[in-house]
């Protein structure tokens, strides 16, 4: 199946192109951004050699729905989605931190805890916790926003303010928005029989100085979901939780001896495995939105995107 792993468009008024781990970001003269969600797959901050069919469309469409479902809590950057893989919106100056919020001891938090650490981003963690156990209340564990090719690093609230990465007043607002967004995301997930385990939010400032939500939210790349049904029973038995997230890719890579560390080779992904990853992304889309996923025509994705975006910009 065809995948979109790289783009190189030339839109009217284009100033520059930034290629992130998954998204290609086109800056236009009028303070506008065109963000193309590609089918690239990133894990442990490393881009995998092969793309995942429909992944970009899935991420873009979930993010669009979730941004619209939370715009009463915090304004966001989004203005339009002229193509299944494309979002257009306001250009913002991003804060150099990702606001990671966790409701459960899972993934990176569990790996740190299991290694013996009892503090994460300056937050003390109680003894005797089990993997996938729910925290008494959600915790915010920020990370620095890495430059391309670097790893994001855990950082405490105190260090962020002390280093002047974010001012204290702005950081308080980011915290407030993060808790409220996570609460809304939890409610949306619960209606679909899911648990929003953890997620990350990114924020920026508009040219007018307004804090807005940017990037994607509540997608399988930025979030982790458990199935609510059977959660308690699986916990009691010490079984793995049934989850919808990119964690299954990370676990597969770990089982093949890859964690993004130096001198580790990325394992070969067979066509069969790639199809299974695509199916998991579609499963998450349908579970989290409660809607059937409609596959866009991928015969010539680049031409389709270019045509749709140029039509939008000409209006």
22-42: pLDDT as tens digits = 999 999 998 999 999 999 999
What is the structure's pLDDT at 65? 97
Neighbour-count burial for 288-306, b at 16+ CB within 10 Å, e otherwise: bbeeebeebebeebeebbb
Q: Is residue 254 part of a domain?
A: no
Domain final position from 245, 260, 281: 245
Does residue 35 contact residue 42 with C-beta atoms inside 8 Å? no
What is the structure's pLDDT at 80? 97
What is the structure's pLDDT at 45? 85
Query: In which order are the strands placed within the sheet that holds 86-90?
Result: 14-19, 23-28, 32-37, 86-90, 78-83
Residue 155 sits in which domain range? 94-245
**Range with the largest mean pLDDT of 40-49, 97-106, 282-291:** 97-106
Backbone angles phi and psi of 155, in degrees to 5: -150, 150
> Per this entry, what is the length of the chain?
315
Nearest to 131 by CA among 111, 103, 102, 154: 111
Mean pLDDT lowest among 80-89, 224-233, 236-245, 303-312:
236-245
Q: Are residues 88 and 73 in the same domain?
A: yes
Average pLDDT value over all residues in the chain: 94
What is the structure's pLDDT at 206? 93
Q: Are residues 235 and 129 in the same domain?
A: yes
Q: Is residue 31 part of a domain?
A: yes
Q: What's the CA gap between 23 and 34, in Å, rounded? A: 10
Q: Are residues 77 and 129 in the same domain?
A: no
Q: Are residues 84 and 213 in the same domain?
A: no
Q: What is the pTM assigned to this prediction?
A: 0.89
Q: Are residues 101 and 88 in the same domain?
A: no
- Give per-residue pLDDT as tens, 2-20: 999 999 999 999 999 999 8
Q: What's the CA gap between 288 and 63, in Å, rounded? A: 11
Residue 125 tokens, joined: 């963690």
Q: Is residue 8 part of a domain?
A: no
Q: How far is CA 176 from the centre of its chain?
A: 19
What is the structure's pLDDT at 151? 63
Q: What's the CA gap between 189 and 57, in Å, rounded? A: 20
- Give per-residue pLDDT as tens, 216-270: 999 988 899 999 999 999 999 999 998 877 778 988 999 999 999 989 999 999 9
The total number of structural domains in the chain stands at 2
CA R_g for the chain: 19
Q: Is residue 266 part of a domain?
A: no
State whether the Cα torsion 222-227-228-230 is positive or negative.
Answer: negative
Higher pLDDT, 250 or 187: 187
Q: Is residue 171 part of a domain?
A: yes
What is the structure's pLDDT at 146? 64
Q: Are residues 38 and 178 in the same domain?
A: no
What is the structure's pLDDT at 257? 95
Mean pLDDT lowest among 55-64, 85-94, 242-251:
242-251
What is the structure's pLDDT at 145? 77
Alpha-carbon distances, residue 89 vs 37, 62, 188, 311 (angstroms): 14, 16, 24, 16
Q: What is the mean pLDDT of residues 174-201?
A: 97
Confidence of residue 50 (pLDDT cuts 50, 70, 90): very high
Q: Are residues 73 and 159 in the same domain?
A: no
């Amino acid at each position: 199946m065809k995948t979109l792993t790289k783009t190189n468009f030339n839109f009217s008024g284009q100033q520059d192109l930034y290629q992130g781990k998954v998204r290609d970001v086109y800056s236009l003269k009028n303070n506008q951004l065109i963000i193309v969600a590609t089918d690239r797959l990133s894990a442990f901050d490393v881009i995998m050699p092969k793309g995942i069919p429909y992944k970009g469309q899935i991420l873009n469409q979930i993010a669009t729905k979730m941004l619209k479902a939370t715009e009463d809590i915090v304004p966001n950057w989004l203005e339009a989605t002229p193509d299944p893989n494309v979002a257009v919106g306001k250009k913002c100056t991003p804060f150099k931190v990702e606001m990671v919020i966790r409701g459960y001891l899972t993934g990176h938090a569990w790996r740190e805890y299991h290694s013996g650490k009892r503090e994460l981003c300056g937050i003390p963690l109680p003894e005797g916790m089990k993997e996938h156990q729910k925290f008494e209340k959600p915790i915010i564990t920020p990370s620095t926003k890495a430059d391309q090719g670097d790893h994001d690093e855990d950082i405490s609230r105190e260090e962020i303010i002390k280093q002047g990465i974010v001012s204290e007043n702005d950081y308080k607002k980011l915290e407030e928005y993060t808790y409220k967004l996570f609460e809304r995301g939890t409610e949306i997930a619960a209606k679909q029989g899911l648990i929003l385990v953890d997620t990350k939010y990114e924020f920026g400032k508009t040219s007018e100085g307004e804090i807005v939500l940017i990037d994607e939210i509540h997608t399988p790349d930025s979030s982790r979901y458990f199935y609510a049904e059977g959660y308690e029973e699986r916990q009691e038995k010490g079984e793995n939780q049934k989850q919808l997230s990119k964690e299954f890719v990370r676990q597969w890579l770990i089982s093949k001896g890859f964690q993004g560390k130096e001198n580790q080779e990325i394992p070969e992904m067979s066509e069969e495995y790639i199809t299974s990853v695509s199916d998991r992304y579609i499963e998450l889309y349908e579970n989290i939105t409660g809607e059937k996923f409609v596959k866009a025509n991928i015969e010539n994705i680049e031409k389709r995107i270019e045509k749709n975006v140029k039509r939008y910009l000409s209006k």
